Structure formats: structure tokens, C-alpha cells
Structure 1
Amino acid sequence: MNIDFPFRIDACGRTAATGDADHIRDMIEQLLFTAPGERVNRPDFGSGLLQMVFAPNSAELAAALQFTAQAALQRYLGELIDLQQLTVSAEDATLTVVVNYVIHATQQPATQTFVRSA
């Protein structure tokens, strides 16, 4: 079992745990919404997607951030997942990311949607 994200205490008073598939989902979320430079010992960890919430919308910016996010997922989670598709969209102050992937260990396909608002 793995520690659940976000960190919390379960009903038994212990650290909440989660299964492998949910843990991979949690790691994807952390990677996508961590800004590069935010982690002290890993300054290149992250994707920079949150800056899109406040940036003016443009096709070029969306394409650049989508490319950056795909590269980050392949770099940091490439041993765990096979990234099939990643879609980034921003409307007003809401950022939506849809990630389609296959978990290597189980060959189970998964689709996760992450939404952040300013």
C-alpha cells in the first residue's frame, strides 16, 4: 500500500493508504500541478501548467504547455505508465487536464481528469 494524497488520517487514526492505481493517479496530479522550482531538491520537477490559469489564452500557449506536461509525465512517470494522450484546456480561470494512460504493471487503461480554478 502507498500513502494517499493529499495526506490525511483514516478512520482508524493511521496514515491513509491507497492502492497502486490510485497512487499513480495521485503522482500524476502532483507532477502536473507542481511548478518547476517549487521543490527544493528537485528544481526541474513539475510541468508549469498552473501558470496557464492566469495567462492569456492562445493556441500557442496551450500547445507549449501540453508539450511540457507530456515531457514531464514521460520523464518522471515513464516507468509506471504509457502516456496515450494528454489534453490541456483553459476557459476563464479554470484549467482542465485530461490524461489517458496505460499502467505498465497491469496493462490497465485509465483516464483521469484534473480541474483547477483560480
Structure 2
Amino acid sequence: MSQRTARLKFPLAVDQGLGRLREEPNPDAYIEQLIRQVILTGPGERVHRPDFGGGLRRQVFALNSFAGAALAETSVYQSLDRWLGALIRVERVEATPRDATLDVSITYVVLQRGVRRYLNVEVGV
């Protein structure tokens, strides 16, 4: 009898029509979902991985200044490099404070295809 090993890919999604796990068919959207998962997860939120995440949502409650934005840039860059370094190469991270939000622009290259992509994330209270 052959055993089949289940392989889960993150982030998880459920296909509502079929009631089973769904995989993202678009590779660019899949990478964007992974990036959002890494940068928006705060350290300590994930079981058995207390150091996972960039903690970008916590930066909104920190000092909303250019110094705080520089800290957010460093945190995002380091977390993406650590957790997704096998999939992407981060070229640039820019964070701009604006009222009660933090705008983050990420430029990265998908290593498998060598394609440069851009992602803008707005994090607010």
C-alpha cells in the first residue's frame, strides 16, 4: 500500500465550492500573499515560531515619524530576507508615515523567473 504525503502551502485558503484546501494558481499572487503574511505577522503570533514575522502592524502604534519609518523599513527587509530569501531577493523597502497610516513600498525580484515586482502595503490603525 503506498502512502501519500500531504503537502501544505501557506497561506492556506479553503475553496468554498469544494470545501477543500485551495492553492493559488497565479505564482505572482502567491508570492504577494507570502510577503503580506510575513510582514503583517507580529513576532510571537505564530505557534512554535516565536521569531516569525516582520511586525509591521505594531509599527503603526509606534512613533509615526521618519525614524519610525526607518525602523519599519529595516524590520520588513530583514524579515523578508530571512523567511522568503529562497524565493525572492528584496531590492528596496520604503516606508512613509502619513497621519495614522504607514505606507510601505517593496521592490523585489522573484528568483525563479528573474522578474522584478512591486508591492505597496498601507497599514493603518
Alignment TM class, shorter chain as reference? 0.7 to 0.9
TM superposition outliers: structure 1 runs of 4+ over 2 Å: 2-17
Match of 1:15 among 9, 21, 40: 21
Q: What is the CA RMSD across the aligned residues, in angstroms?
A: 2.0
Report the secondary structure of 2:108's partner residue: strand
1:19-65 alpha-carbon deviations (Å, 9 max, x no partner): 22211111100011000111111100011211221222222221122
Amino acid at match of 1:83: V
**d(CA) in 2 for partners of 1:67 and 1:4?**
24
**d(CA) in 1 for partners of 2:122 and 2:15?**
24
Report the TM-score, using the length of structure 2 for normalisation: 0.80
Q: Which runs of 5+ in 2 are unaligned?
A: 1-7
Q: Which runs of 5+ in 1 are unaligned?
A: none
- Give aligned pairs, total: 117
**d(CA) in 2 for partners of 1:115 and 1:4?**
22
Report the secondary structure of 1:40's partner residue: coil
Report the TM-score, using the length of structure 1 for normalisation: 0.85
Based on CA coordinates, which of the two structures has the bigger radius of gyration? 2
Deviation at 1:93, TM superposition (A): 2.0
**Identity percentage over the alignment?**
32
Retained in 1: the 8 A contact 2:65–2:97?
A: no
